[in-house]
Amino acid sequence: MPTITAPPAPPSDYTVLPAAAQAWTEADLLRLGHDDHRQYELVRGELRQMSPASPFHGRFEIRMIVALSIYLANHPLGEIFPGDTGFILQSSPLTIRAPDVAFVTTARIPTEDVQGLWRLAPDLVIEIVSPSESARTIAEKVSDYLAAGTRLLWVVYPEQQHVHEYRAAHAFHIYHAGDTLDGRDVLPGFQYALATLFG
CB atoms within 10 A of CB 156: 25
What is the mean pLDDT of the segment spanning 122-126?
Answer: 98
Q: What is the mean pLDDT of the chain?
A: 83
Give mean pLDDT, residues 37-42.
Answer: 61
Which domains occur in the chain, in start order?
14-198 (3.90.1570.10)
Burial class of residue 11 (count of CB atoms within 10 Å of its CB; 0-12, 13-18, 19+): buried
The model carries a pTM of 0.79
Q: Are 191 and 182 in contact (CB under 8 A)?
A: yes
Give the pLDDT mean for 171-183.
97
Report the candidate in 142, 160, 154 with the shortest Cα–Cα distance to residue 192.
Answer: 154
Half-sphere exposure of 17 (CA within 13 A, CB side): 19
